[in-house]
Amino acid sequence: MRLEVFHHLFAAAAEEMGAALMRAAFSPNIKERRDFSCALFDGAGRMISQAAHIPVHLGSAPLSVAAAIEHLDLGRGDTAVLNDPYAGGTHLPDVTLVTPVFLGDGDAPDFHVANRAHHADVGGPVPGSMAPAADVHGEGLRIPPVKLVRAGELDRDVLALLLANMRVPREREADLLAQRSANRMAERRLAELADEHGRAELVARGAQLMDWTADLLGAALRELPAREATFEDALEGPDGDVGIRVRLQRRGARLVADFTDSDDQVAGPVNGPRAVLLSAVFYVLRTLLPAGTPTNDGLLRRVDVRSRPGSVVHATYPAAVAAGNVETSQRIVDVLLGALARLAPDRAPAASAGTMSNLSFGSAGPRGQGADGAWAYYETLAGGAGASARGPGAHALHTHMTNTRNTPIEAFESQLPVRVLSATVRRGSGGAGARPGGDGVEKRLLFLEPARASWVADRQRRGPWGLAGGGAGEPGGATHVSGGAARELSGSASFTLAAGDELRVRTPGGGGHGRARGPRTRRGPA
């Protein structure tokens, strides 16, 4: 089938973008953890193909591409840069580059290519740009759609403005240029495909792929019962729980996902822009389809996503959003899967870790990576996957909206004044059940220099719920040990570490599935 050939040609180009970005980047977060995503879009900005990268990036990236197209006149050789959460972005560390691709002599682009990478720092009061803040202005540098490259020439003034507001500017510059090179590689690949197959067929096949995906999803949705299912869960805010609620209903070959009853946005970092909401819905819909299905704009053609501006899942200016991308996205997935379990019990797993367990730290110490002595680092930590009717949950895995890797200890210790005392699976942290949940991880770090750190995580008070009588997973947590005294951290903390201090982190286990024989276990929603 010729269309299947083009599916793989487009996907291979997106994967090649990612390989180029990984090889050229300088920061461990990009070159080791691979916290980036790449995708191809048509001339109108609709996503036609993506690499197997980060779900929270890819489902939201179309809104960034749309914002770049709307706000800028992108011509040949131009590239836009943006991270604005109110213009298609997710949170400030996720910086997106968008490049139009012209294959003929026309004035309008035939395609767009884009990549999004999480930068280890984009300013703000705490290294890593992930510390709790009251509004978006306390989270770092906010970048509206602007041209970073004009007619093939890097705009040094724009670049200087960005770097002046970021820690470790040399590393930030190298990562931005790596992002630019990834887009240029994709431009060349699309030009080669057009030379081989013709521009007209390349454009037409992109449109057909989106139609194909929409048809496959429509068929999958018709297998769900035509009734409403509701589900709710909550984020553990510092001033109490923040509820997320969904009403899910199939109507013919379409799905309505109504989040309007979710709580209002709060004075803290857990607010999620609408782009994050769409990315979570996008991800869950993709799980309904068989492996090998093209992942593109066709997924969202069959769903009506309803949200209320000013709510925690549709944040409006000037809400803080740092944790919306990493934590709220996970909870949205949880409520969608919880509702789906009530429509099709065999299709949905118990809750996974439900948090990305975000740890960031850095300093302006003497050893640093930058010319000014600054160093900064960011990572997310794996947790346990939820079990399902098909089997137990996996251990120590980045689940759902994150798909990164762990930074190898050798790379970690060679670039940072921090030692890894231990990194192990947290045995027994998964929920009990006929099919137990996966276990989380434990990690102990020793700081050789003073540092400023932030810990942003959820599921610290209540573990991920089980299904069908399965037990909940163990909640996570973090402990700061200084001078022999141990202090438990909240799930939204910013703090100072002295040389010799230790940081111990624990991530949640996944929920179990099915009632286990033996002693009664903690239960999640049925």
Mean pLDDT of 276-280: 95
Report the distance separating Cα 195 and Cα 523, nearest Å: 59
- What is the b/e burial string over 101-117, where b = at least 16 CB atoms within 10 angstroms of the residue's CB? bbbeeeeebbbbbbbbb
For the chain, the structural domain boundaries read 2-214, 349-526
Query: For the CA atoms of 422, 461, 313, 336, what is the dihedral angle to 10 degrees?
Result: 90
For the chain, the distance separating the N- and C-terminal CA atoms, rounded to the nearest angstrom, is 43
* pTM for this predicted structure: 0.94
Give yes or no for residue 372 having a pLDDT over 70.
no
Question: What is the token pair recorded at 1?
Answer: 């089938």
pLDDT classification of 519: cutoffs 50, 70, 90: low
Question: What is the token pair recorded at 354?
Answer: 């439900």
Report which DSSP code applies to 311: B
Could you please report the per-residue DSSP string of 371-416? Answer: TTS-EEEEEE--BPPPPBTTBPPPSSB--TT----PPPHHHHHHHS
- How buried is residue 434: exposed, middle or buried, by Cβ count under 10 Å (0-12/13-18/19+)? middle
Residue the block writes with tokens 């980036």: 36
Other CB atoms within 10 Å distance of the CB of residue 516 = 19
Closest CA to 142 of 318, 373, 281: 318
Residue pair 26/171 in contact by the 8 Å Cβ criterion: yes
Residue pair 326/56 in contact by the 8 Å Cβ criterion: yes
Residue pair 20/389 in contact by the 8 Å Cβ criterion: no
Cα within 13 Å of Cα(31), Cβ side: 15
Question: What is the token pair recorded at 213?
Answer: 């995906």
Before 85, cis peptide (omega within 30)?
no
Report the distance separating Cα 145 and Cα 82, nearest Å: 5
Residue pair 431/470 in contact by the 8 Å Cβ criterion: yes
pLDDT at 370: 46
Asked whether the CA dihedral 409, 415, 383, 507 is positive or negative, the reply is positive
Give yes or no for residue 274 having a pLDDT over 90.
yes
pLDDT at 523: 42
Report the distance separating Cα 39 and Cα 186, nearest Å: 9
pLDDT classification of 403: cutoffs 50, 70, 90: confident
Question: What is the token pair recorded at 117?
Answer: 């990478």
pLDDT classification of 368: cutoffs 50, 70, 90: very low
Asked whether the CA dihedral 321, 322, 328, 333 is positive or negative, the reply is positive
3-state SS class at 434: coil
Question: What is the token pair recorded at 136?
Answer: 């978006």
Question: What is the token pair recorded at 362?
Answer: 């850095």
Residues 146-175 have pLDDT tens digits of 999 999 999 999 999 999 999 999 999 999
Mean pLDDT of 271-283: 95
